[in-house]
């Protein structure tokens, strides 16, 4: 596993379309909720507008309480809506990912070990005197070529400051 910190990155707002679930980390690990949403979204996108590779996003929205693996939070698996405006979206949600400044990381490894990357990110934030009370984070899974792909490169964005 490799985790690379890239500094602070400014991101523009993104209009996203995809699926949302409410579950804890432990529930997701047991029931494969996020990977199921990724498969569902990927298959729908391939039916509507086949593409050899897609950038998929995972937005994780946390409640304002201390986090544990049993804390229920929102997971949104989505794509940028641009290019999919006329796609049938029954059962899907729209979400706006806000613009802002983000601590930018790249994780290289298997999806099963991404929790280690988040542990390292929490350590990095603590070492730099940054409170880790983020309301959300963003993962970008670039160039996903099939729904069950073992992701080897994931970009992680942690908001610098959220009002």
- In tens, the pLDDT along 51-80 reads 767 789 999 999 988 889 999 999 999 998
Segments making up each domain of the chain, as ranges: 16-70+125-163
Closest CA to 148 of 24, 46, 4: 46
State the average pLDDT over residues 26-46.
90
Closest CA to 132 of 145, 119, 122: 122
Average pLDDT across the chain, whole number:
87
- In tens, the pLDDT along 122-145 reads 999 999 988 877 899 999 998 877
């Amino acid at each position: 596993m490799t985790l690379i910190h890239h500094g602070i990155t400014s991101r523009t707002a993104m209009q996203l379309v995809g699926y949302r679930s409410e579950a804890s980390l432990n529930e997701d690990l047991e029931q494969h909720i996020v990977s199921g949403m990724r498969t569902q979204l990927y298959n729908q996108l391939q039916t509507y507008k086949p593409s050899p590779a897609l950038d998929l996003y995972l937005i994780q929205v946390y409640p304002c309480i201390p986090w544990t693996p049993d804390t229920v939070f929102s997971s949104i698996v989505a794509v940028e809506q641009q290019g999919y405006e006329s796609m049938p979206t029954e059962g899907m949600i729209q979400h706006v990912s806000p613009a802002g400044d983000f601590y930018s990381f790249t994780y290289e490894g298997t999806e099963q070990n991404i929790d280690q990357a988040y542990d390292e990110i929490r350590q990095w934030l603590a070492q730099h005197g940054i409170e880790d009370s983020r309301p959300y984070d963003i993962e970008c899974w670039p160039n996903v070529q099939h729904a069950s792909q073992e992701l080897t490169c994931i970009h992680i964005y942690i908001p610098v400051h959220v009002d």
